[in-house]
Amino acid sequence: MDNENLNNEINETEQVNNEEVTVIEEKDQVIEETAVKEEPVQTVKEEPAARTYEEPVRRAYEEPQFYYNIPVYTQEVKESKPKKSGGKFWMAATAVLMAICLVTSSFAIGTVVGKDGNKDTVVNSNKENKTEITRPEEIPNTMVQTPEYSYTQNVNPGERMDVPTLVAKVSPSVVDILTTSDAGGSLGTGVIYTEDGYIITCAHVIDDATSVTVYLHEDDTEYEAVVIGFDTYSDIGVIKIDKTGLPAAQFGESHKLVPGEQVVAIGTPYSLELTHTITEGLVSDRRDNYSIPDLGVTLDLIQHSATINPGNSGGPLFNMYGQVVGINSVKIMTGGTSNYEDIGFAIQMETALPIAEQIIIEGQVVRPQIDIKGATESTLGGVYVGAIVKGGAAEKADIKVGDLITRIDGQRVKSVDERITLLGTYPFGDEIEVTILRGVDVVTTTVILQEPVEE
């Protein structure tokens, strides 16, 4: 059969298929009727129009998109009535409408990472909240040693736990977070960091919040929280409630995770009625310095298959020792006909804990800089040097305006975000090797990292 006849046959088949079945919805019943080709379908006036479902045209590939796992309410969230002894706030009572980003890739998330040039954005308190925060001088070391993974340990009940045992142990350290903002409200999850009320979550959960309410699993009560600060480049934020004696989580070492290791995610997807939803999965791998262009960030992540959905953002990812090894943040998904299932990402604790500590103690996150004003060069990939800050590290290293920074310590740098994130992994005073494209020449120079120079 030649191509022309084949195409005609396909077109005729599609036309017949589109005309063969009409689905008519009448109250609670769905009736399928086979239409006769010779007779046109009659439309009854003043009746709801029948909905016709057509087989979608499948494309070979659809570009995946990253979304933060946070549902956004499209109507203002009603305040719950004051309670004498606390109690669970049920979403059914608020009569709000929720837009789910799983429905379509064209959905616009209302919590997008924001940046102020090359500076980190850190907010020290809720908008219009005058509460003074007394910052501690230091935070006790909360990271505990994670045993080296052994494939024989999964049968040792003395160390590794089964899922029901693990959930019973760690659930009290997981909290629900409901925020309100000028755009409405949103739902997220958090994990208790310290016994005196500090809670770690994702920056995008709280970055535009005018008020934050925390719901404890332990005693089913709610507390107003203060935003201590957040860092948009790492997507880590910290809030605090006025309560002591909280069941703080144990935090493990993400770098000891191995592909195939079992993990458990706990969070609150969709609404507060689904609080402490539990999913389990496997670690695919650690994705260090992983760039997410859709969100404008580069993060050290753990890819895993534990299902996470809007509302899981900021929630913990546990290993089977009951230790938090990641903070769930983003997932891959698309609209249309392509489905990407169980591709979730959690922020590694080696990133999250130092950032949280800086936010609590300093109120901000300061990263080493090379003191340039740059822009992402999209064609060649790299950071174009637009200006040099006088007295900064770049000037001392003889970096010039017009240079294109392509590598730092041998690692490819494709954007401003990657540069900022990568530099944040070095301590002040470290020497790094910077590779530059200067005209047609490749130049290498050594930069001594220092604190940003005030202009």
Catalytic residues, which ones?
204, 235, 313
**Chain mean position to CA 12:** 46
Entry field: residues in the chain:
455
Q: Are 214 and 190 in contact (CB under 8 A)?
A: yes
Q: What DSSP assignment string belongs to 381-450? A: -SEEEEEE-TTSHHHHTT--TT-EEEEETTEE--SHHHHHHHHTTSPTT-EEEEEEEETTEEEEEEEE-B
Please, what is the end-to-end C-alpha distance for the chain in angstroms?
Answer: 74
CA angle 33, 35, 38 (to 5 degrees): 165
Q: Tell me the CA distances in angstroms from 176 to 67, 75, 113, one per residue in order.
A: 20, 20, 21
Residue 200's nearest CA partner among 256, 143, 160, 284 is 143
What residue ranges in 268-402 does DSSP mark as E strands?
277-292, 297-304, 316-318, 323-333, 344-348, 372-376, 383-388
Taking a C-beta distance cutoff of 8 angstroms, is the pair 186, 89 a contact?
Answer: no
Q: How many CA atoms lie within 13 A of 371 on its CB side?
A: 21
SS3 state at 451: coil
Interatomic CA distance for residues 424 and 404, integer angstroms? 20
